[in-house]
Structure 1
Amino acid sequence: MKIGLATPNSDYGQRTTDMAVEAEQRGYDSLWVGEHSHIPASRETPHPAGIDLPQLYWHMRDPFTSLGAAAAVTSRIKLVTGVCLVLEHEVLDLAKSVATLDEVSGGRFLFGVGVGWNREELANVSPVPWSQRYGAMRETIEALRGQWSQHEAGYSGTHVHIEPSWVYPKPVQQPGPPVLMGCQGRIGLQHAAEYADGWCPLDDFLRDARKAVDRFRAAVESYGRDPDGVPISMYCFSRPTEEKLELYQELGVERTVFGAPDEADKHQRFVDRNQHLVDTFAD
Structure 2
Amino acid sequence: MRVGVFYFPTDYGIDIAELARALEERGFESLFVPEHTHIPVSRKTPFPGGGELPKRYMRTHDPFVALAFAAATTRKLLIGTGVCLVPQHDPIVLAKVIASLDLLSGGRFVFGIGGGWNVDEMENHGARYETRFKLMRERVQAMKAIWTQEEASFHSDMVNFDPIWSYPKPAQRPHPPVLLGGETDHTLKRVVAYCDGWFPRGARGFNPVEAIERLHRMATAAGRDPATLTTSVFGAPPDAAALEGYAKAGVNRVLLGVPDKDPDEILRTLDKWAPLAAAHAA
Q: Please classify the TM superposition score into its range, dividing by the shorter chain length.
A: over 0.9
Measured after TM superposition, the shift of residue 32 of structure 1 is: 0.7
Structure 1 counterpart of 2:180 = 181
Q: Distance in 1 between matches of 2:197 and 2:205?
A: 17
Cα RMSD, aligned residues only: 1.5
Q: Distance in 1 between matches of 2:90 and 2:205?
A: 32
* One-letter amino acid of the counterpart of residue 115, structure 1: G
State yes or no: 1:164 paired with 2:159.
no
* One-letter amino acid of the counterpart of residue 150, structure 1: Q
Gaps of 5+ in 1: none
User: Structure 1, residues 65-96: CA drift from partner, whole Å, max 9, x if none?
Assistant: 11111111111111111111111111111010
Structure 2 counterpart of 1:257 = 255
State yes or no: 1:148 paired with 2:147.
yes
Measured after TM superposition, the shift of residue 21 of structure 1 is: 0.9
* One-letter amino acid of the counterpart of residue 258, structure 1: L
* One-letter amino acid of the counterpart of residue 181, structure 1: L
Q: Distance in 2 between matches of 1:206 and 1:169?
A: 43
2:82, 2:112 within 8 Å by CA — same for their partners in 1? yes
State yes or no: 1:78 paired with 2:58.
no
TM-score, normalised by the number of residues in structure 1: 0.95
* One-letter amino acid of the counterpart of residue 105, structure 1: S
* One-letter amino acid of the counterpart of residue 208, structure 2: A
Q: Distance in 1 between matches of 2:6 and 2:203?
A: 15
1:115, 1:134 within 8 Å by CA — same for their partners in 2? yes
* One-letter amino acid of the counterpart of residue 67, structure 1: L
Structure 2 counterpart of 1:11 = 11
Measured after TM superposition, the shift of residue 61 of structure 1 is: 0.6
1:183, 1:192 within 8 Å by CA — same for their partners in 2? no
Measured after TM superposition, the shift of residue 25 of structure 1 is: 1.0
* One-letter amino acid of the counterpart of residue 39, structure 2: I
Paired residues for 1:1-283 under 5 Å: 1-126=1-126, 128-204=127-203, 207-236=206-235, 239-263=237-261, 264-283=263-282
1:193, 1:217 within 8 Å by CA — same for their partners in 2? no
User: Structure 1, residues 110-148: CA drift from partner, whole Å, max 9, x if none?
Assistant: 11111111111111112x321211111110110000000
User: Structure 1, residues 156-186: CA drift from partner, whole Å, max 9, x if none?
Assistant: 1111122221111111112111111113223
Q: Which deviates more, 206-215 or 42-51?
A: 206-215
Q: Distance in 2 between matches of 1:183 and 1:165?
A: 33
Q: Distance in 2 between matches of 1:28 and 1:34?
A: 18
User: Structure 1, residues 240-280: CA drift from partner, whole Å, max 9, x if none?
Assistant: 11121011011010111111112224422321222221222
1:71, 1:79 within 8 Å by CA — same for their partners in 2? yes
Q: Percent identity?
A: 40
TM-score, normalised by the number of residues in structure 2: 0.95
* Aligned positions, number: 281
2:3, 2:29 within 8 Å by CA — same for their partners in 1? yes
* One-letter amino acid of the counterpart of residue 252, structure 1: G
Q: Which deviates more, 95-104 or 185-194?
A: 185-194
